[in-house]
Amino acid sequence: MEREEVEFKETLRLNLFTNKVAAGLAEKAAREIVAFMNTQGGKIIVGVADDGQLLGIDADIASFATATKPGTEDDFRLYIDHAVRDRLGMEYLGYVHVRFETLAT
């Protein structure tokens, strides 16, 4: 469940209703990162709905695909790095740790 130090995000790049990339989602995540930096810290868990339903990040990763290559976790990691760097500043990259987890179903 969400709590003061845990925030769920369904997606970080793809609007799940329109199935289109939405830059505003990264902006919202950047604001959450700033909020965590101004308190005791916390975790943003991407691929989970507010009610705790696991959605995964496959749609976000697939949104990086091109005609010549599929999207990858590295693409997603770079997207997060760029979002932090562009919105908060390069000096804050060291405070953001990206980790990918696989859950057995």
Question: In the prediction, which pLDDT does 82 show?
Answer: 92
In whole angstroms, give the CA distance from residue 26 to residue 94: 18
Domain boundaries along the sequence of the chain: 6-95
Question: In the prediction, which pLDDT does 47 show?
Answer: 94
- CA distances to 40, 64, 65 from 68, in Å: 43, 11, 8
Question: In the prediction, which pLDDT does 2 show?
Answer: 66
Q: Per residue in 76-92, pLDDT tens?
A: 999 999 999 999 999 98
- CA distances to 23, 35, 38, 91 from 5, in Å: 24, 10, 12, 22
pLDDT above 80 (res 1)? no
pTM of the full predicted structure? 0.85
